[in-house]
Amino acid sequence: MGISTSGQMISRAFGARVRLVLFFVFTWLGVVLLLAFLLNEGRREAERKAPSDALGVTSLLEARLAATMRRLQGNLEHLAVSLPRDAFKLAEVGRYREAVVNELELFSGQFPEVSGFRVMDAAGSLLYASGVALETSGFAERSYFNAPAVQSGNALYFSEVITDKLSGRTFLFVIQPVRDAHGGLLGLVAAPLDLDVLAKIFETINVGSKGVVAIWRADDGRQILRRPAVPDQVNQVLANNPLYRRIESGEKLGTMRAPAMLDGLDRVYAFQRIADYPLYVAGGLAVDDYLAEWRQTLWVAAVSALLLFLSLSLVLIRLLRAENEEEVTARKLSQSEARYRMLAENSHDVIWTLDIPSRRYTYVSPSITDMCGYLPEDVLGQSIDARLTPESASRLARDIDQRLRRIAAGDKAASVVVSELEQVCKDGEVISTEVVSSYLQDADGVAHTILGITRNVSERKAAELALRETNRQLHARIEEIGRLQVALQELAVRDSLTGLYNRRYLDETLEREVSRARREGNPLALVMLDIDYFKRVNDTYGHQVGDEALRMLATTLLADVRTEDVACRYGGEEFLILLPNMPLETAIQRAEAWRQAIEELSVALGNFHITFTISLGVAAYPEHGKTPDDLTRCADQALYRAKHEGRNQVSVFSA
């Protein structure tokens, strides 16, 4: 009783039109709120993902630069120990020139970033050189030669950025002091890092059209290299640099969002110290770049919401207009029986009466002509199902029988029914009609006549169909957004060129697998490999051939790894394969099989086929290391040994 009373109160308080308008308003607001929620979630996801993407950029650069610096440090230390002490005497240069230069040339071709090696005496005079010719005068007057670290220490020292007068290229000298048995300075062994080569590596990193990557000094905050370049900022300290303040406080890596101090653009930055060297790399993703796709989705959603609003408004207007016509008709019918005939003959709806026992029409209004093309006299006396489709006729016959039984049982609600029927017009067209049927009863409660009103609702049905299609497209777009989010999550841990896992995924997985091996006592192996003379392939045949070689190498690896193995692109032409639950001997066999398989591959270049080889280094847990960093370092050293001993071979780490 309470629910019925409340429904009646609501019906009295809100008329049919108001309820219809409220329904459409709430429907549209619901869709808009759903779109707003999804768009907000999309933006929040982009904001959450930006720091990890920026950190992925810096991790990739840090891995490349740290590997280069470690190898370069090893070469400089080797040269500092192995060069004869008399070779640092100016008078003995002629005696040692050939041997020393050959030794320098042996190491010069290992790094594309290093333009050879230089040997100077304690007075700053250039004694020996290999690699690219640079301007050699005035070494002793340069600030890095007289730095306290060079004059009194044994550690590596990094010079300021220097522009060579001969070539116009910029270099950063990495310097190793050489001392005699008493600690006196015999001379220097230096390697110039070609910053223009590093700049090209930066250009391969995708940070968006407004992104930035840079190398800074961690000891004094000076800028070494930046892309996009700002030449007047090289060797300069950026005042109040928040990244340097965090490096200076001891942080190794981190992220932050701040407006850029040079161009004012709002970016999400990541920074990372390059191993233990006084350098750090920073990368920034512009907010405008990583929100560009979201803004496009926002525009599409706004247009969709507007189209939905217009569609709903059109349907609402038509329904309100139709309802208004029904109310006018009902009011006129109730006002006077005398006006009934005039109303029936002038109504756009077809008004009719039906004799229930014979199921034949006894009256049809003239509007039947406009609706179906028949004259009233064509329909009079016909059976009710004569102008219906077979399915509608069968359904109507069942409904009439059911209604009569309910009326006979005393169900008053059964005397009025609204149904939708398909009618066939005179020209063969099938239209959708809405039929309101009232069963007129005599004094004994027996129904003998049906008073009906038939309306053509084909346009309304078409509008409803259009609305459903709009809703379907909206749901399809929402599902597409969900699929794109899943795809983006997969791309975050995949290398775009090779399809292998990236360095970020490897770091997470290696930490987890080492912990599992330690906990369960299982073996674990790590294989690091790279393509021999890959720079020569790129320089000779072009980067497209180099990229194809990388893809073929990745395909070969993927074809011969277990489900639990993790193959990733470590950086450039370097790859690393994590082999859980695999002893060292088996890992060596796997590595040798990969080496042989790659040796048999060839890259097609026109009518020629180019072959290449790989060198591999193997390290195992717990024999060689018990932490992820130790295992990676051991595998790297084993790879370096394979390179040093002639390439195209497998080398196992040995202390």
pLDDT 10s digits, 408-444? 888 877 778 888 888 888 788 888 888 888 888 877 7
- Residue 505: what pLDDT? 92
The 574-580 sheet, strands edge to edge: 566-571, 574-580, 524-531, 614-621, 650-652
256 lies in the same domain as 125: yes
**326 Cβ contact partners less than 8 Å away, ≥ 6 residues apart:** none
DSSP codes, 227-262: ES--GGGBT-B-TT-HHHHHHHTT-SEEEEEEE-TT
Distance, in Å, from the CA atom of 458 to the CA atom of 375, rounded to the nearest integer, reads 21
- Residue 571: what pLDDT? 86
Is residue 402 pLDDT above 90, yes or no? no
Distance, in Å, from the CA atom of 173 to the CA atom of 192, rounded to the nearest integer, reads 4
- Residue 199: what pLDDT? 83
Ranking 26-30, 224-228, 320-324, 583-587 by mean pLDDT, the lowest is 320-324
Mean pLDDT of the chain: 83
pLDDT tier at 641 (50, 70, 90 boundaries)? very high
194 lies in the same domain as 272: yes
Strand partners, 283: 213, 270
Distance, in Å, from the CA atom of 206 to the CA atom of 202, rounded to the nearest integer, reads 9
508 lies in the same domain as 448: no
Among 234-238, 480-484, 592-596, top mean pLDDT goes to: 592-596
DSSP codes, 366-380: TTHHHHHS--HHHHT
Residue 506: phi and psi, rounded to 5, are -60, -45
DSSP state of 582: -
pLDDT tier at 643 (50, 70, 90 boundaries)? very high
Q: Which long-range contacts (CB under 8 A, 24 or more apart) does 590-597 make?
A: 590/527, 590/560, 591/527, 591/529, 591/616, 591/618, 591/650, 592/650, 593/560, 594/527, 594/529, 594/556, 594/557, 594/560, 595/648, 595/649, 595/650, 597/556, 597/560
* Neighbouring C-beta atoms of residue 114, cutoff 10 Å: 23
pLDDT 10s digits, 561-583? 999 999 999 988 899 999 999 99
249 lies in the same domain as 343: no
Please state whether 355 falls in left (phi above 0), alpha (psi between -120 and 50) or beta: beta
H helices within 154-207, ranges in order?
Answer: 195-203
pLDDT tier at 487 (50, 70, 90 boundaries)? low
Report how many domains make up the chain. 3
- Residue 616: what pLDDT? 96
Cis ω for the linkage preceding 622 (within 30 of 0): yes
**Three-state DSSP state, 564:** coil
In a domain, 303, yes or no: no
Q: Measuring CA to CA, how many Å separate 584 from each of 546, 642, 651?
A: 31, 17, 12
Ranking 17-26, 496-505, 635-644 by mean pLDDT, the lowest is 17-26
281 lies in the same domain as 367: no
- Residue 565: what pLDDT? 93
Q: What percent of the chain has pLDDT over 70?
A: 89
pLDDT tier at 627 (50, 70, 90 boundaries)? very high
Mean pLDDT, rounded, for 499-506: 91
Q: Are strands 447-456 and 430-441 parallel, antiparallel or unpaired?
A: antiparallel
Extract the tokens encoding 430: 């099938």
- Residue 343: what pLDDT? 58
- Residue 485: what pLDDT? 67
In a domain, 333, yes or no: no
Ranking 78-87, 371-380, 511-520 by mean pLDDT, the lowest is 371-380
CA gyration radius, the chain: 42
Distance, in Å, from the CA atom of 140 to the CA atom of 143, rounded to the nearest integer, reads 8
Residue pointed to by tokens 């950026």: 238
pLDDT 10s digits, 597-616? 999 988 877 777 888 899 99
- Residue 330: what pLDDT? 58
In a domain, 293, yes or no: no
pLDDT tier at 462 (50, 70, 90 boundaries)? confident
DSSP state of 276: T
Distance, in Å, from the CA atom of 68 to the CA atom of 215, rounded to the nearest integer, reads 14
* Neighbouring C-beta atoms of residue 81, cutoff 10 Å: 10
- Residue 197: what pLDDT? 85
- Residue 542: what pLDDT? 86
- Residue 653: what pLDDT? 93
In a domain, 80, yes or no: yes
Distance, in Å, from the CA atom of 393 to the CA atom of 165, rounded to the nearest integer, reads 98
* pTM, to two decimals: 0.46
In a domain, 63, yes or no: yes
Q: Measuring CA to CA, how many Å separate 548 from each of 219, 534, 612?
A: 41, 12, 12
Please state whether 428 falls in left (phi above 0), alpha (psi between -120 and 50) or beta: left
Is residue 1 pLDDT above 60, yes or no? no
pLDDT tier at 493 (50, 70, 90 boundaries)? confident
Mean pLDDT, rounded, for 481-504: 76
Extract the tokens encoding 580: 């859980």
pLDDT tier at 146 (50, 70, 90 boundaries)? low
Distance, in Å, from the CA atom of 74 to the CA atom of 117, rounded to the nearest integer, reads 13
Q: What percent of the chain has pLDDT over 90?
A: 18
- Residue 340: what pLDDT? 56
Distance, in Å, from the CA atom of 134 to the CA atom of 605, rounded to the nearest integer, reads 36
The letter for the amino acid at 47 is E
* Neighbouring C-beta atoms of residue 102, cutoff 10 Å: 10
Q: Among positive and negative, which fits the CA dihedral 576, 578, 579, 583?
A: positive
The 118-121 sheet, strands edge to edge: 126-129, 118-121, 185-194, 170-179, 157-163
- Residue 19: what pLDDT? 77
Residue 633: phi and psi, rounded to 5, are -65, -45
- Dihedral angle over CA of 202, 205, 211, 214, nearest 10: -30
- Residue 399: what pLDDT? 86
In a domain, 36, yes or no: no
Contact between 278 and 285 (Cβ < 8 Å): no
Q: Tell me the CB-side half-sphere exposure of residue 291, using CA atoms within 13 A.
A: 16
In a domain, 312, yes or no: no
DSSP state of 168: -
Domain final position from 250, 271, 286: 286
Q: Are strands 416-424 and 650-652 parallel, antiparallel or unpaired?
A: unpaired
Extract the tokens encoding 312: 């709903």
In a domain, 1, yes or no: no
203 lies in the same domain as 70: yes
Contact between 592 and 650 (Cβ < 8 Å): yes
Contact between 388 and 396 (Cβ < 8 Å): yes
282 lies in the same domain as 369: no
- Residue 635: what pLDDT? 95
Extract the tokens encoding 382: 């016909």
Distance, in Å, from the CA atom of 226 to the CA atom of 236, rounded to the nearest integer, reads 12
Give the CATH number for residue 193. 3.30.450.20
Helix, strand, coil percentages for the chain (3-state, nearest 5): 50, 25, 25
164 lies in the same domain as 240: yes
pLDDT 10s digits, 313-328? 888 788 878 777 776 7
Distance, in Å, from the CA atom of 249 to the CA atom of 350, rounded to the nearest integer, reads 87
Residue pointed to by tokens 């709806």: 349
Q: Which domain holds residue 524?
A: 503-652
445 lies in the same domain as 552: no
Extract the tokens encoding 260: 């850029």
Distance, in Å, from the CA atom of 81 to the CA atom of 62, rounded to the nearest integer, reads 28
DSSP state of 134: -
- Residue 132: what pLDDT? 66
Is residue 491 pLDDT above 70, yes or no? no
441 lies in the same domain as 522: no
CA angle 109, 110, 115 (to 5 degrees): 55
Mean pLDDT, rounded, for 265-282: 89
Domain final position from 286, 314, 330: 286
Domain final position from 456, 491, 516: 456
pLDDT tier at 142 (50, 70, 90 boundaries)? low
Mean pLDDT, rounded, for 584-599: 94
Mean pLDDT, rounded, for 281-302: 86
108 lies in the same domain as 191: yes
pLDDT 10s digits, 185-208? 888 999 888 888 888 888 888 888
**652 Cβ contact partners less than 8 Å away, ≥ 6 residues apart:** 584, 588, 617, 618, 619, 638
427 lies in the same domain as 564: no
Give the CATH number for residue 618. 3.30.70.270
Extract the tokens encoding 262: 């040079």
